[in-house]
A and B are shown apart, each in its own frame.
Chain A
Amino acid sequence: MPHDDHDHPHTLLPPDPALRVKALETILTRKGLIDPAALDEIIDTYQNKIGPQNGARVVAKAWTDPDFKAALLKDATSVVADLGYYGRQGEHMVVVANTPEQHNMVVCTLCSCYPWPLLGIPPGWYKSDAYRARAVREPRKVLAEFGVTLPETSSVCVWDSTAEVRYLVLPMRPEDTDGLTEDELAALVTRDSMIGTGLPKVPS
């Protein structure tokens, strides 16, 4: 049975959220249930090691290697795992490619599901009520708030991440990038372009 009593135990901790976290960390540490050094390690991982630079490498490779792109669209989980991108919140990956006819955009209306191994921790707006509520119903108005206007000839497909499958958008390669290396291309790939709320940068 779901517990719907209104004496939730969390009310026993200080109401200020920073103090609430601190109190819980202290209690759990004192009981030998968590190790503050492990917390530092988790934070360092998501602050410095795992982030959108991972996804950008996958996108740049797909832009330069047609065989890789075909394999990525067929079985993203194993293809990105071969590059070392696997783990929590990325156990079942699907990559969806933008085309002139279809633009893809990812949301999690029920919580905040997001492909951590490729993009890291989601930005605040991705977890906001406004994005969760509106992305499925009015994606074009939401895109306009990100400065993106799609042609009328393009449809929008919004992927609501309701299961443990995580979606990454493969944006279209910008024009006039023929001579660029994979690293130079990766620098054009923004986080938002892989969520579908943005487009890649154009070379300056």
Chain B
Amino acid sequence: MTRVHDMGGRFGDGPVHPEPDDAPVFAEDWHARALAVTLAAGSLGQWNIDISRHARERLSPKDYTRFSYYEKWISALTDLLVESGVLTEEDLRGEADKEEHPLAGRKMKAEAVAGVLASGGPADRPSSVPAEYAVGQEVVTTRPTANRLVDGGHTRLPHYAAGAKGRILMVHGTHVLPDSSAHRLGDAPEPLYAVVFPASELWTNPEHPNDEVVLDLWQSYLGPV
């Protein structure tokens, strides 16, 4: 069982509303601010991308559904700052002292922004786990979809693709396993593959017999056919 964010294939959401190419990047000023605060706080180095994704997914289903996109970001960031010990609940209430924080030395400075954004954070790592599958080979995904290390934990196999038969399309090398990394259990890198599934393997009424869906899946999400 996964969480509310795992919505691929869901019915009932209504039409998509396209936007013109020249629409503003940020519809509201606070959207831009929310994104920037999140990136700047991330550079304090107290969590990784998987931990921050999981913080958004762990919003209660009620909050996840009613919050707008950047509301999820800012609320999850607040939760993460407290959980990781950067801020206290007293800080959030405005009751704490104004002494400089032990992590203040890690503050992202304006002149460092371009370099930090340009250098990124690659997710590939050397791994001792050998690739079990080759391009063209048939595989089946695990079922049910779940984090096998932490009950209710982060995982990147969407429920719509659980127990589905597909074929290895690309081998991406060895990447950090989010199921482990999101819970501070280490990078646990393992082979990552692009796996192609016929739409008919995933949906009761596919739109076209030749349509396909490709997902990037870690080796531990897969088994042989």
Contact = CB atoms under 8 A, between A and B. Distances in A.
Contact of A47 (B32, B82, B210): B32
A30 B98 CA distance: 7
Interface in B187-220: 192, 194, 196, 202-203, 207-208, 210-218
9 contacts: A12-B89, A21-B30, A33-B106, A40-B36, A45-B117, A91-B122, A125-B19, A132-B8, A157-B214
A21 B107 contact: no
Given A27-B87, A162-B157, A86 B79 contact: no
A129 B68 CA distance: 10
Interface centre among B5, B39, B124 (most CB of A within 10 A): B39
Given A42-B117, A158-B214, 7 more contacts: A33-B86, A51-B25, A123-B19, A147-B18, A162-B216, A163-B123, A164-B175
8 A-B pairs with the lowest CB-CB distances in the bound complex, closest first: A109-B8, A32-B104, A163-B216, A155-B210, A164-B123, A39-B36, A10-B75, A18-B30
Interface centre among A13, A133, A139 (most CB of B within 10 A): A133
A105 to B, nearest CB: 10
Contacts of B160: 109, 136-137
Contact of A136 (B9, B91, B157): B9
Contact of A155 (B36, B49, B113, B211): B211
B74 to A, nearest CB: 5
Give the dominant DSSP class at A's interface.
mixed
Interface residues of A, number: 92
Contact of A17 (B68, B86, B176): B68
B18 A125 contact: yes
Interface of A: 1-4, 6, 8-10, 12-13, 17-18, 20-25, 27-28, 30-35, 37-43, 45-47, 50-52, 86-92, 94, 107, 109-112, 117, 120-121, 123-125, 127-134, 136-142, 145-147, 152, 155-165, 190-192, 197
A146 B172 contact: no
Contacts of B120: 86-91, 117
Given A12-B92, A91-B120, A157-B211, A33 B32 contact: no
Nearest to B103: A33
Contacts of B32: 43, 46-47
Interface size class of B (residues with CB under 8 A): 35 or more
A99 to B, nearest CB: 13
Contacts of A117: 120
A77 B11 CA distance: 35
B77 interface: yes
A130 B15 contact: yes
Contacts of B225: none
Given A33-B103, A94-B170, A124 B6 contact: no
Contacts of A8: 59-60, 63, 75, 78-79
Given A1-B150, A43-B35, A120 B13 contact: no
Interface centre among B71, B98, B108, B113 (most CB of A within 10 A): B113
B16 A142 contact: yes
